[in-house]
């Protein structure tokens, strides 16, 4: 039986550790919990022990615990150490080799793989100190899942929410499976994400509300399953997922050129919200507002990236497009599948609140075999499910 050492840090998201432990036990994975002093402010040792079906460890200087299982042995008693939530404090201690409690001492004393699921206020997550610690931990071989973006208990909105338990569970399963958990190892994937920006003049441009979250999540999920991922991204505020090569572009023509330069590839997932049209010519200086009518804006059609990749002499084995629609979603997706020549269309209804620019998505996979409808879920979960579906298709 595989075993996980679960370190529960202090934060409002600590309650999700109980759900994570339940998923692990249901899958037959042993869970031995360490509860920090701060974590005990949010979940009780009794509830954690009951779900994990094991004793809760918390005190570095407990004579009983040290006699039964010292912290050195505890640090090596599992196949994987999971820190959820990984607070800014725990990350800082681990990055700098501090060891003043059982959790930090365990992390310093182990040679077992470590997976951290960060959770903290958005300003703490984006603080230069946390970013330095993140890079140090990654360089030390620590793996990460999340954080997600969304509303927080403190009332703010942004990146820093603990990844949902199913997403953490998927990451744990992949790490415990080793090579078997990386079914896309040796595969190369191109993922487009975000909006494109089509300049009208040096100040103004045409664009859309795409945040890039779904595309970035798919790039991260494909990388987690072992693929070499090239993320061709329009302008977003998102950080590139660990291990993913990001190519920054602005216009639709830039994005097509970057995709073609990334060929050959096994997989292409075109998630980006590419502008269908661009201005016919760009002003060299700012167009001034005059007393007369507004100047005419003539538009010309942009290149079709999805269709171009689908018909390329170096066509990827699996080409997937996205169809963001506000009505007749599946009908438009089926028509797009035939017109573009791709293998799948992932159709999503962007008229629903929280989808375009938001953190959740409801999709249907449209292919020649029919329509596979998925329930609404966080974009990270949609990405993991899609990545596993891709791995099954290419197996």
- CATH code: domain of residue 316: 3.40.50.10300
Tell me, what's the pLDDT at 350? 72
How far, in Å, CA of 218 to CA of 85, rounded?
Answer: 22
Provide the whole-model pTM: 0.65
**For this structure, is 259 an active site residue?**
no
For the four alpha carbons of 249, 254, 255 and 258, in that order, the dihedral sign comes to negative
Rounded Cα–Cα distance for residues 222 and 384 (Å): 8
Domain count, the chain: 2
Interval 257-272 mean pLDDT = 96
Query: CATH number, domain at 13?
Result: 3.40.50.1950
Range 67-73 average pLDDT: 61
Shared domain for 226 and 320, answered yes or no, is yes
Does 208 score more than 70 pLDDT?
yes
Least confident range of 179-183, 229-233, 272-276: 179-183
Among 180, 199, 221, identify where a domain stops.
180
| pLDDT the model gives residue 38 | 92
State the chain's maximal CA–CA distance in angstroms. Answer: 87
Among the candidates 155, 180, 205, a domain finishes at: 180
What is the span of the domain harbouring residue 106? 3-180
Q: Say yes or no: 132 and 38 in one domain.
A: yes
Q: What average pLDDT is seen over the chain?
A: 87
Rounded to an integer, the average pLDDT of 19-23 is: 94
Q: Token digits for 193?
A: 């994400």
> What's residue 64's pLDDT?
56
- Which has the higher per-residue pLDDT, 179 or 15? 15
User: Do residue 133 and residue 216 come from a single domain?
Assistant: no
Boundary (domain end) residue, out of 180, 198, 229: 180
Instruction: Determine which of 105-119, 237-251, 312-326, 347-361 has the lowest per-residue pLDDT on average.
Output: 347-361
| Domain-located, residue 287 | no
CA distances for 10 relative to 40, 50, 74, 187, angstroms? 7, 19, 20, 39
- Does 284 fall in a domain? no
Q: Give the mean pLDDT of 107-113.
A: 89
The pLDDT > 70 percentage for the chain reads: 93
Residue 354 has what pLDDT? Answer: 56
Please give the average per-residue pLDDT across 241-249, as a whole number: 87
Q: Give the per-residue pLDDT at 359.
A: 74
Instruction: Name which of 231, 121, 227, 244 is nearest 184 in CA terms.
Output: 227
Average confidence (pLDDT) over 48-57 = 92
Mean pLDDT of the 157-179 span: 83
Asked if residue 230 has pLDDT above 60, the reply is: yes
Mean pLDDT, to the nearest integer, of 8-24? Answer: 93
> pLDDT higher for 327 or 79?
79
* Range of lowest pLDDT (201-210, 218-227, 314-323): 201-210
């Amino acid at each position: 039986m595989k075993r996980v050492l679960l370190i529960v840090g202090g934060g409002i998201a600590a309650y999700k550790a109980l759900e994570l432990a339940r998923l692990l036990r249901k899958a037959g994975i042993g869970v031995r919990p360490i509860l920090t002093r701060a974590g005990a402010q949010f979940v009780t040792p009794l509830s954690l022990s009951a779900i994990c079906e094991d004793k809760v460890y918390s005190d570095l200087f407990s004579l009983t615990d040290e006699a039964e299982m010292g912290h050195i042995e505890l640090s090596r008693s599992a196949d994987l150490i999971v820190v959820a939530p990984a607070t800014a404090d725990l990350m800082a201690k681990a990055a700098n080799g501090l060891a003043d409690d059982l959790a930090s001492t365990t992390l310093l004393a182990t040679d077992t793989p470590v997976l951290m699921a960060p959770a903290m206020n958005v300003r703490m997550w984006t603080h230069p100190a946390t970013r330095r610690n993140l890079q140090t931990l990654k360089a030390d071989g620590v793996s990460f899942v999340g954080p997600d973006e969304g509303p927080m208990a403190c009332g703010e909105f942004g990146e820093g929410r603990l990844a949902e338990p199913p997403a953490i569970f998927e990451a744990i399963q992949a790490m415990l499976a080793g090579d078997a958990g990386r079914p896309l190892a040796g595969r190369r994937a191109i993922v487009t994400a975000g909006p494109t920006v089509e300049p009208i003049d040096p100040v103004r441009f045409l664009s859309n509300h795409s945040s890039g979250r779904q595309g970035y999540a798919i790039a991260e999920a494909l990388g987690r399953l072992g693929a070499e991922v090239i993320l061709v991204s329009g302008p977003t505020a998102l950080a590139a997922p660990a291990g993913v090569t990001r190519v920054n572009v602005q216009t639709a023509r830039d994005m097509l050129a970057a995709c073609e330069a990334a060929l050959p590839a096994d997989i292409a997932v075109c998630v980006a919200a590419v502008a269908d049209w661009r201005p016919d010519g760009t002003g060299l200086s700012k167009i001034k507002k005059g007393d007369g009518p507004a100047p005419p804006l003539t538009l010309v059609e942009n290149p079709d990236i999805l269709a171009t990749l689908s018909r390329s002499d170096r066509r990827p084995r699996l080409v997937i497009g996205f169809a963001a629609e506000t009505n007749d979603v599946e009908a438009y997706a089926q028509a797009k599948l035939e017109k573009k020549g791709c293998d799948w269309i992932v159709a999503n209804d962007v008229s629903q609140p929280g989808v375009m620019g938001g953190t959740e998505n409801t999709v249907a996979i449209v292919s020649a075999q029919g329509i596979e409808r998925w329930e609404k879920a966080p974009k990270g979960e949609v990405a993991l499910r899609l990545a596993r579906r891709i791995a099954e298709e290419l197996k």
